[in-house]
């Protein structure tokens, strides 16, 4: 036992409150059977009161707080959703809308986006890894020749590997009609020329191998991975035209095709896929429905509904739903009150994230907010708790430490999974 381990085991434990030591000792490690995660990111802030946590009907003209739409029943008795989630409603027995998520980050997009991807606030001393990078680091790809983590959306540091290094980074693309840029030879470069370049690169890499620092080794690992990924097996995943036209149409438009690609990436062995919704802002503002942006919010909800329902049923038909956890997150929710233009502001103290599939014991909804979805009244779920649930579902030890050099960093900042979803 070294000095740090001794301090962690003895001195640190002695200073823990008695209830914390007892809880830690009494809680068995939960572990699900999922192998993949498809994380759907609704940038801008999905309003829970207008989607998965509907309340009484409001009126922006009369400044009456409440939902913008009517609600409808689902496959789970007592659980209702917005009327524009009509395709998802019959599938809610495969879904849990976690209605009691909260964080204490300022209700501003960049800071909240970082929190919902890393589980932490921005730090000046630690570059925290994203959820996708942690899963990629802990579970790796399911098979050789594919990346562990693919981002279908714009690259951003909040999605990155932080101190875990480039091996836990992502491969990204924004257009489902083409594979990721850089995985194929430029036009006009033949196999002979490529072979000469490879030989030159190998010679350069062999020089000074004994003095290479970690950054150079990470860079070379990225080169090796790119060469492996440029092969025909992985690039075939991006040929959506191989799917039946009826299936492609069932997923819907641009966002739906990204979800279809995510399913194909799961089949290829990718461990974690993030799919960004609404890159082109079909309503002009995306999910950030201040003022008049809310008038076309139903288009966003319908777009999400069609793609989500198709993804669930497609994965189920291929016997992949129990092995694939679908996660829907957003940086915060929206308050029940309407702003001066009839839209909504930001609300991080109570909002909804959604889990589907993944072999969990789904219940339609978990957690409860008050009569206007403004305050949590039962079963609060912190962001670390949500992350611990995702980690547990995919077989990652949510109690362990990662290491930034020799500095231990708790993997979920003390989060505890939603235990009723496991069994």
Contact predicate 133/144, CB 8 Å: no
Confidence of residue 323 (pLDDT cuts 50, 70, 90): very high
In the predicted structure, residue 217 carries a pLDDT above the cut 90: no
Average predicted confidence (pLDDT) for the chain: 88
Q: Calculate the CA dihedral of residues 142, 147, 151, 152 and round it to 10 degrees.
A: -90
Higher pLDDT: 217 or 363? It is 363
| CATH H-level superfamily of 37-184+230-421 | Alkaline Phosphatase, subunit A (3.40.720.10)
In the predicted structure, residue 1 carries a pLDDT above the cut 60: no
Least confident of 46-55, 148-157, 323-332: 148-157
Coil, strand or helix at 249: helix
Residue 152 sits at φ, ψ, to 5 deg, of -100, 85
In the predicted structure, residue 24 carries a pLDDT above the cut 50: no
Measured at the CA of 380, the angle between CA 377 and CA 381, to 5 degrees, comes to 155
Q: Which ranges of 16-163 does DSSP label H, i.e. alpha helix?
A: 18-26, 109-118, 131-139
Residue 203, pLDDT score: 73
Per-residue pLDDT averaged across 91-115, rounded? Answer: 95
In the predicted structure, residue 221 carries a pLDDT above the cut 80: no
Spell out the domain ranges in the chain: 37-184+230-421
């Amino acid at each position: 036992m070294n000095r740090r381990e001794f301090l962690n085991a003895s001195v640190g434990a002695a200073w823990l409150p008695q209830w914390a030591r007892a809880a830690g000792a009494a809680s068995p490690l939960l572990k699900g059977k999922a192998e993949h995660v498809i994380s759907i990111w609704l940038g801008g802030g999905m309003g829970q009161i207008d989607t998965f946590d509907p309340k009484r009907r409001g009126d922006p003209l009369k400044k009456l707080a409440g939902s913008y739409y009517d609600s409808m029943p689902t496959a789970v008795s007592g659980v209702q959703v917005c009327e524009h989630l009509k395709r998802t409603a019959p599938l809610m027995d495969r879904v849990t809308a976690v209605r009691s998520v909260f964080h204490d980050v300022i209700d501003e997009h960049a800071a909240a986006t970082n929190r919902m991807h890393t589980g932490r606030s921005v730090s000046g001393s630690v570059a925290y890894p994203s959820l996708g990078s942690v899963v990629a680091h802990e579970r790796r790809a399911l098979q050789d020749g594919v990346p562990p983590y693919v981002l279908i959306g714009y690259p951003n540091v909040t999605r990155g590997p932080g101190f875990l290094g480039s091996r836990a980074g992502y491969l990204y693309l924004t257009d489902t009609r083409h594979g990721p840029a850089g995985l194929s030879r430029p036009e006009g470069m033949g196999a002979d020329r490529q072979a000469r370049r490879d030989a030159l690169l190998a010679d350069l890499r062999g020089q000074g191998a004994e003095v290479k620092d970690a950054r150079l080794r990470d860079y070379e690992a990225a080169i090796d991975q790119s060469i492996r990924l440029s092969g025909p097996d992985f690039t075939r995943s991006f040929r959506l035209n191989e799917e039946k036209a009826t299936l492609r149409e069932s997923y819907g438009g641009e966002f739906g095709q990204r979800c279809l690609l995510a399913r194909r990436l799961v089949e290829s062995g990718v461990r974690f896929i993030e799919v960004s919704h609404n890159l082109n802002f079909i309503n002009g503002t995306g999910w950030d429905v201040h003022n008049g942006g809310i008038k076309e919010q139903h288009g966003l909800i319908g777009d999400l509904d069609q793609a989500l329902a198709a993804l669930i049923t497609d994965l189920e038909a291929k016997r992949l739903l129990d092995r694939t956890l679908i996660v829907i997150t957003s940086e915060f929710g929206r308050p029940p009150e309407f702003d001066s233009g009839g839209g909504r502001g930001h609300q991080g103290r109570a909002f909804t994230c959604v889990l589907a599939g993944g072999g969990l014991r789904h219940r339609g909804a978990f957690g409860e907010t008050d009569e206007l979805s403004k305050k949590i009244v039962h079963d609060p779920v912190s962001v670390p708790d949500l992350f611990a649930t995702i980690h547990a579902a995919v077989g990652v030890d949510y109690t362990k430490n990662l290491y930034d050099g020799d500095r231990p960093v708790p993997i979920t900042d003390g989060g505890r999974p939603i235990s009723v979803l496991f069994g």
